[in-house]
Amino acid sequence: MNEGMNAAARLVFNLPKFSHVTPPLFRDLHWLPVAARIKFKTMTLRARLSGDKNAGGGAEEDQEDQQQGEEREAAPAGDTGLGRPDIYKAVFSYQSRDEREMSFREGDLFDVITSRDGDWWAVRKVDPDGRALGSGYVPGNFLKREESVDAQPWYFGKMSRFEAQSHLMCPENKNGAFLVRLSQKGHVGYVLSVKQSRVKHFKVFQSDSDFWVEKEHVFCSLADLVNFYQSHQFSTREPLGQPCKRMEPHPADLSKATVDEWELPKEEFTLQEQLGSGYFADVYRGLWKNQINVAVKVLKAVHGHSLHFSFSPYSFSFLTALSNQEVYQKVASGYRMPCPSSCPNFIYSLMLSCWHAKEAHRPDFKELYDQLCTINSYDICEG
């Protein structure tokens, strides 16, 4: 056995250092699973010889509150036995909405240029050999680091058992559907949740870099564990089926171009059926540029006329200390809030202009911004 382990060590450590592109020869060799199998046999024999009671056995998470003898709090498994550290993988497909964005399909690979723009990342799309195919912006929540467990379709991150049950019991998930999650109870670590007649939860035991749910089978990574049980009987049950269906994320904005745009032309929106109505607004289903579903809130002015899409500072001037009926009566009769004691007169004049009864006399946000930018500390002191 020692000779086998030494051979595995020579195989691993004699490999040339990886660049950001793994040479095709070594990708095709699949040498990591070989080392994993050798380690798997060693761990299995060691567990049998030592009679380790903490070696697993398909224990369900129903007993998750019971502390295990040498159990450790599991950290997220960075090594899945797959991928390259500086490459990201698309976990969902995306259709670009702006000329600066990139369209991509699930599984496409990217080299991230910068993620400093928050929700939108500047990326370079690459092929499996690292050759650049194009560049642009993509929503960052559609990408996961290729080498991390987060990029696996079956990994759902930190999640409670009730959330897992809600996901797995959706009709589109058949019996055998599964997911791996990080329990919200810190001492539990990873849990394998499987849909059968009901959802059952199995603790994934972890020691250093080893993972197992049954003491007879120990693996170097979560990916190796899942791959094994997708083709082998699991704890007297059928092999695992398909990963649980995910809900597709949504970009944080309509597009990269709209990140800093607070107002959009009303011509870009198409109103459909009304979804609801309140005292100050109606809500409609709509389409942005005839492709993106949106909910459009159409504010009502106190005189009963809709403000539609041309939102203005007037929309934010309603009185909150009075009832709705009192607000209507007072504003309709020409009442405006008095100047606060610490408010400069020129600021109050701007406020009154925003509340003008005639829309044409109200400044828009740009006009307000330009006027406010001309104010200096002397004006404030003298106000």
* Binding-site residue ranges for ATP: 297
Q: Report residue 320 as tokens.
A: 């909150």
Residue 290 φ/ψ region, left for φ over 0, alpha for ψ in the -120 to 50 degree band, beta for the rest:
left
Rounded distance, CA 149 to CA 154, Å? 9
Rounded distance, CA 91 to CA 109, Å? 10
Residue 72 φ/ψ region, left for φ over 0, alpha for ψ in the -120 to 50 degree band, beta for the rest:
beta
H/E stretch holding 77 reads none
Report how far Cα 359 is from the mean position of its chain's Cα atoms.
41
Which alpha helices (H) appear in 14-53, and where do they start and end? 24-29, 31-50
Q: What residues are designated binding site?
A: 297
Residue by residue, DSSP assigns 83-136 as S-TT-EEESS-B---STTB--B-TT-EEEEEE-TTTTEEEEEEE-TT--EEEEE
